[in-house]
Amino acid sequence: MDIFLIVLLIAAGAVIFLGILPVAVLGYILYAVLLVRNKPDKWGRECSLPEDAEYKSMFDIGMEWYEKNKNAKQDVGITSCGFRLVGEYFDFGYDKAVIIIPGRMESLLYSYFFAEPYQKSGYNVLVIDNRSHGLSEGKRCCLGYSEYKDIIAWSKLLHETFGVNSVVLHGICIGSSVALFAMTAPECPEYIDSMVAEGMYASFSESLKNHILELKKPLFPIYQSAMLMMKIFSGADVVHDGPIYRIGALKKPILFLHSREDTYSLPEKAEEIYAKCNAPKEIVWFPTGAHSRIRITHMEKYDSAITDFLKEHEAVCETV
């Protein structure tokens, strides 16, 4: 082979390698920041945004609920997919329960804030540290693509150990995706019979893109590389799979709670998801409220939407 051609091929290979490698490294760094617990105190049990007054208020209100109801609490745990997971079960003496599924970065302490409307509606409350969060084991967040199995395992604990015959899933942001994945899985038990979704996104890739654009950062090529890393290391195909692709398989009742001001899970995407849903459904719109902060902005309306949904669902079940 001509020496010039050999040199040209080597040079071309070096350019390609040196171009791809930095992008791959930066993509992995973004992935790791978002979805890898690389130190024990990451995604712990403290308030994740203590400097944010509104977020801190949510956390403090939740802790007040805990103080009022801590005598009903017992520590619980399961093993799912080889991970030891922990939670707290507030047993108020009912045969119905809610599992509150927080979003990324949050522990079960965050979930206290959402418990009150369920307690008032006659439901026991299970709050959980998701895999790789709080005191639960795990290193990687898989955005529900694996964690849905944990939710099914938690529901079995409620049913088989505590005699719960009706389980509602309440998900916030990523938690709503986890709940949907659990409810559309072939192995989902019958006693998981409805769900509430706050701020459900169409796909995680869409939500992350909106985050990046809000920060006025360029998407290409680090964003695309991070999507690939999520697929490789977390088994999450966030580009071609997500709630908007799975909602059509849902058969059980769902309540959507969404803010018109949500800049991450866009309202127009929520409308698309709602249109694709063939299950018994209801959507309640809130005129204001940032992503995952609807209840702190409209507490009475938020709680009423949940209690009304639960009453209607129970009435339907009684007539079947």
Q: How confident is the model at residue 14 (pLDDT cuts 50, 70, 90)?
A: very low
Other beta carbons within 10 Å of 211? 14
- Cβ–Cβ under 8 Å, residues 61 and 113: yes
Q: Is 168:96 a contact under the CB 8 Å cutoff?
A: yes
Cβ atoms 131, 146 nearer than 8 A: yes
Rounded to whole angstroms, how far apart are CA atoms 252 and 311?
A: 15
DSSP for 148-162, written as a single string = HHHHHHHHHHHHHHH
Percent over 90 (pLDDT), the chain:
84
CATH architecture, domain 52-202+242-319: 3-Layer(aba) Sandwich (3.40)
Of all residues in the chain, the percent with pLDDT exceeding 70 is: 92
pLDDT at 270 exceeding the cut of 80: yes
Q: From CA 108, how far away is CA 128, in angstroms rounded?
A: 5
Assign 8 a pLDDT band (cuts: 50, 70, 90): very low
Query: What is d(CA 180, CA 118) in angstroms, rounded to the nearest whole number?
Result: 19
- Helical H segments across the chain, by residue range: 3-35, 53-69, 108-111, 116-120, 148-162, 174-183, 204-214, 222-234, 243-246, 267-276, 294-297, 299-319
The burial of 295, by beta-carbon neighbours within 10 Å (0-12 exposed, 13-18 middle, 19 or more buried), is given as buried
Contact 85, 53 (CB under 8 A): no
Of 276, 275, 258, the C-alpha closest to 267 is: 258
> Are the C-beta atoms of 270 and 283 separated by less than 8 Å?
yes
Average pLDDT, the chain: 92
Asked if pLDDT for residue 132 goes beyond 90, the answer is yes
Tokens for 121, please give them: 């509606």
> What number is the average pLDDT over the span 35-44?
94
Q: Quick check: 97 and 88 in contact, CB under 8 A?
A: no
Question: CA 237, CA 256: separation in Å to the nearest integer?
Answer: 23
Domain boundaries, the chain: 1-34+209-234, 52-202+242-319
Q: How confident is the model at residue 6 (pLDDT cuts 50, 70, 90)?
A: very low
- The three-class DSSP label of residue 241 is coil
Using DSSP, state whether 106 is helix, strand or coil.
coil
Angle (CA) 60-61-66 rounded to 5° is 95
When pLDDT is cut at 50, 70 and 90, the band that residue 317 belongs to is low
What mean pLDDT is predicted for residues 207-226? 90
Closest CA relative to residue 78, chosen from 11, 4, 139, 159: 159
